[in-house]
Chains A and B, each alone.
Chain A
Amino acid sequence: MNLLNRNGNDVHSLVGAYAVDAVDADERRMFEEHLRECESCAHEVAELQQTAAILAADAETAPPAGLRESVLREARAVRPNPPVVTPLRRRRPIGGWLLAAAAALLLVIGGIAWHPWTSGTPTVSAAQRILSASDAERYAHRDGSTVVTVVRSPQLKQAAVTTTGLKAAPSGMAYTMWLIDASGKPVDAGQLPPGASGAVTYVLRGDAASATAAAVTMEPAGTNPAAPSSKSIMAMDFSS
């Protein structure tokens, strides 16, 4: 893939700036795509984040006394998210926590999909296969000029999300897809790159055939939430 950024600079060189969040949203997205393919940068990011954590000692300040109680009170009212039980081959091991969770998403640009986790030439679009499957079912969510449609093919056991007029997520956040399993539990289906907007199409991760619904939440970009941290902003019920 293209290793040069918009200034023609080597994308590896963003590693330090990324580790201390000194990148804008475009660079973050670009670098997180790069991190999925570059072991060396992934390793360096982890080390430099570790270094930055030590640096923070220089800022140590006693928090206001009342903060402890409000933090503890708030936590008591919330159940911690369960761990994600991942299939063995789900993800490549990658360093750092702030890598995009989109590793298993197919990013579709202009109808051509590529696997972000493999380098090389674009493959025939898996999204197109789902969108044009003979058994494709469509579940749309409309909000003003925004239309978000989940297209599911039980035969292919896959689903894709396709949007028009999607508003970019707020800075630092990303649309995160969930497939709700038969027991009602949301399973992480991947995250759209933080700057995704307008018309985009992504293939969801996970078994869409056995899912009962899809949902969208807003999560911090690049995180790998074990469960939604907030109420869904969109939900598409497959039984309807």
Chain B
Amino acid sequence: MSVHAVDDSSGRPVAPDRLGGLITACSRGDDRSFAELYDVTAPRVFGLVLRVVRDHAQAEEVTQEVYLAVWRTAASFDPAKGSALSWLMTIAHRRAVDRVRSAQAQTDRDTAYGLRDRDRDYDVTAEDAHRSMDAERVRKALATLTPSQAEAIELAYFGGYTHREVAALLKLPVGTAKTRIRDGLIRLRDAWGVER
């Protein structure tokens, strides 16, 4: 499987080249392409950011930052280095994690969140969740991970925790969490046949 974004209205996958083409058009100031890029990718960007920062208002702010960064730096996208979606989501994830780790966000964050009780089917956004076919496939693949790998990846990627924090949360020796994160990602990579 290759990396696809999903057109939200139709559930029809958007070819990766199409996304790359939209980003290239953005670098030339084409705001219609930017609007299309937003329409095609916003559920995934906003969803990821929301999952990490948890707070709706902050998720909106970070999503806006992400798209502005994409618009400004579109010229730096290089298809030879990876897919357009990967470029976009890497920017989004980094910004979300930076936000959640900043002191302000830290105080707003529900630190008492019951990790132990946390259901892997997050339902915090169930009322407006917009899950695509892709999401189903992701869930199936996640289910093939060992529970400890899935837990470590979830805390790291969706929780925004460092591998040391993950180790502490799961009461693991320090080196163990990063190994689980890596092994889990490799398993997903192989399951999805991801190539650079």
Contact = CB atoms under 8 A, between A and B. Distances in A.
B155 to A, nearest CB: 8
B72 A229 contact: yes
Interface stretch (A47-55, A104-112, A127-135, A151-159): A47-55
Nearest to B179: A13
Contact of B196 (A15, A78, A79, A95): A95
A49 B3 CA distance: 11
B49 to A, nearest CB: 9
Main secondary structure of the interface of B (DSSP, over half): helix
Contacts of A61: 43, 46-47, 50-51, 125, 128-130
Interface in B133-180: 134-135, 137-139, 142, 153, 156-158, 160-164, 166, 174-175, 177-179
Interface stretch (A80-88, A179-187, A196-204, A206-214): A80-88
Interface in B115-138: 122, 125, 128-132, 134-135, 137-138
A185 to B, nearest CB: 14
Contacts of A53: 3, 83, 85-86, 88-90
Contacts of A70: 64
Task: Give the residue among A27, A52, A96 with the most B Cβ atoms within 10 A.
Answer: A52
Nearest to A16: B182
Interface in B60-87: 60, 63-64, 67-69, 71-76, 80-83, 85-87
Interface string B23-52: 000111101001100110011111110110
Interface residues of A, number: 66
A56 B89 contact: yes
B8 interface: yes
A16 B178 contact: yes
Interface in A191-240: 220, 223-227, 229
B22 interface: no
A94 to B, nearest CB: 8
B142 to A, nearest CB: 7
Contacts of A74: 64, 67-68
A16 B145 CA distance: 15
Contacts of B34: 72, 75
Nearest to A82: B75
Contact of B97 (A14, A21, A47, A48): A21
B14 interface: no
A70 B156 CA distance: 30
Nearest to B83: A50
Given A16-B178, A51-B194, A229 B73 contact: yes
A117 B158 CA distance: 33
A27 B163 CA distance: 10
Nearest to B30: A80
A17 interface: yes
A70 B80 CA distance: 32
A48 B185 contact: yes
A23 interface: yes
B162 A23 contact: yes
B26 to A, nearest CB: 6
A171 interface: yes
Contact of A71 (B27, B64, B83): B64
Interface string A16-54: 110111111001000000000000000100111111111
B56 interface: yes
14 contacts: A16-B178, A17-B177, A17-B181, A57-B132, A57-B137, A60-B132, A61-B125, A62-B128, A68-B42, A80-B71, A81-B72, A83-B75, A172-B97, A220-B69
Given A46-B196, A74-B64, 12 more contacts: A7-B174, A50-B83, A52-B86, A57-B134, A61-B129, A67-B64, A70-B64, A83-B76, A97-B76, A170-B102, A171-B101, A229-B73
What are the 5 tightest A-B residue pairs by CB atom distance, in nearest-first order?
A16-B182, A172-B98, A61-B47, A63-B46, A22-B156
